[in-house]
Amino acid sequence: MAMRKIIHVDMDSFFASIEQRDFPKYRGKPLVVGGNSPRAVVAAASYEARKYGIHSAMPMARAKQQCPHLIITPHRFNVYQEVSTRIQHIFHEYTDLVEPLSLDEAYLDVTEPKKGSPSASLIAKEIKKEIWKRENLIASAGVSYNKFLAKIASDMDKPDGFYLIKPEDAEQFLEELDIGLFFGVGKKTEEKMHRLSIYKGKDLKRFSQQALIGHFGKVGRYYYDVVRGIDERPVVTSRDRKSIGAERTYQTDIYNIHEVKEKLSDVIEIMWERSEAKDKLGKTVTLKVRYSDFITITKSHTQGQPYTKTEAAKTLMELLPTEEIQTKGVRLLGATMTNFYLEDDKLPKQLKIDF
């Protein structure tokens, strides 16, 4: 079996870059995408904003403290979706093996490219040029022989980066890599590893697989493999989603049950549109409610046959904890459909377009 050639493409500060591209007045200035309410968080930050320590998921209030002249612009998800779709088309010009991870990143297997050079490095550089040429946006790309290494490589030289990890260089590269830069090692895991005197890949490599499982559970097997450059996961061109849903957070707490029901109807509508777009009908619906004190509850109901839209809406409304809502107030509502109907040949078909 030939060694695979994997590219990981990651758009640099995607949402914020689109805003700066479309509105010249924002260029070169610290900008974030997100809401301006007391509970808002940063969805994306420009590189100018990142110089102030601002990053995605940061509370907006804190971001404004760190940069008083910060520009805040609301999201335009329909625009980001359209741009992402066009970028996906560029990927598919080179390979059909494309695995989107989100709107702004994807894995590509170019072991046998559809056109151009057989070199994964040259293909990655060409894709970066095409994205700039057609969309006026910059991307970073990592290249290696598996997904784990390609993902790490794409983060090594941002923004507008390119980084190649050759098979013969992988072992030394991983031994010298800070453990916090390993994909899949979050902040809490990094702290735990530091307590075990694991600071770099070479420190992790000293532990047996059994010892890592003992310290970290099943994910210990993953750590044992990847520090040795082992990652056999293929590029998956489609994902079988386990759930489809929607949720909304509100700027002010809602105590009026009639208003809550109106808001929930909107959420259900979005959930149903998404389920229809995926040709999936579920036999389980779940309601999610977060109260003003941040306590979150979920309530589910399952029936023998897939829900119709009317049945799903009726069931979710009946699951609403009316008394608690009127006492505590609601700050978030969510609706999810799971336990999908498997007999696809009996479901109505519609054209599916790869994202």
Of 165, 182, 198, the position where a domain reaches its end is 165
Mean residue pLDDT of the chain comes to 89
pLDDT value of residue 235? 92
Cα–Cα distance measured from residue 285 to residue 336, given in angstroms and rounded to the nearest whole number: 6
Indicate if 160 and 297 belong to the same structural domain: no
Which band of pLDDT confidence, cut at 50, 70 and 90, is reported for residue 240? Answer: low
Residue 105 annotated as catalytic: yes
Which band of pLDDT confidence, cut at 50, 70 and 90, is reported for residue 355? Answer: very low
In-domain check, residue 115:
yes
Indicate if 55 and 146 belong to the same structural domain: yes
pLDDT digits (tens, 9 = 90+) for 24-35: 999 999 999 988
pLDDT at 351 over 50: no
Indicate if 285 and 330 belong to the same structural domain: yes
In-domain check, residue 218:
yes
Report the first-to-last Cα separation within the chain, whole angstroms. 29
pLDDT digits (tens, 9 = 90+) for 136-150: 999 999 999 999 999
Which band of pLDDT confidence, cut at 50, 70 and 90, is reported for residue 239? Answer: low
In-domain check, residue 232:
no
CATH number at residue 286: 3.30.1490.100
| Residue type (1 letter), 28 | G
Residue 141 burial class via C-beta count within 10 angstroms: exposed 0-12, middle 13-18, buried 19 and up: buried
Q: What angle do CA 179, 105, 218 make, to 5 degrees?
A: 40
pLDDT value of residue 343? 41
CATH number at residue 194: 1.10.150.20
In-domain check, residue 354:
no
Report, as an integer, the average pLDDT of 66-82: 92
Indicate if 92 and 130 belong to the same structural domain: yes
In-domain check, residue 257:
yes
Indicate if 160 and 194 belong to the same structural domain: no
Indicate if 173 and 143 belong to the same structural domain: no
Cα–Cα distance measured from residue 314 to residue 335, given in angstroms and rounded to the nearest whole number: 12
Give the burial string for 57-96 (b: 16+ CB within 10 Å, else e): ebebeebbeebeebbbbeeeeeebeebbeebbebbeebbe
Among residues 19, 48, 105, 135, which one is catalytic?
A: 105
Indicate if 145 and 177 belong to the same structural domain: no
Indicate if 95 and 71 belong to the same structural domain: yes
pLDDT digits (tens, 9 = 90+) for 160-179: 999 999 999 999 999 999 99
Q: Domain limits at 158?
A: 1-165
Residue 254 burial class via C-beta count within 10 angstroms: exposed 0-12, middle 13-18, buried 19 and up: buried
In-domain check, residue 239:
no
Indicate if 68 and 113 belong to the same structural domain: yes
Cα–Cα distance measured from residue 45 to residue 16, given in angstroms and rounded to the nearest whole number: 6
Report, as an integer, the average pLDDT of 117-145: 96
- Total-model pTM: 0.69
Which band of pLDDT confidence, cut at 50, 70 and 90, is reported for residue 286? Answer: very high
Of 165, 180, 209, the position where a domain reaches its end is 165
Indicate if 142 and 291 belong to the same structural domain: no
Indicate if 21 and 144 belong to the same structural domain: yes
Percent of the chain at pLDDT > 90 equals 69
Which band of pLDDT confidence, cut at 50, 70 and 90, is reported for residue 344? Answer: very low
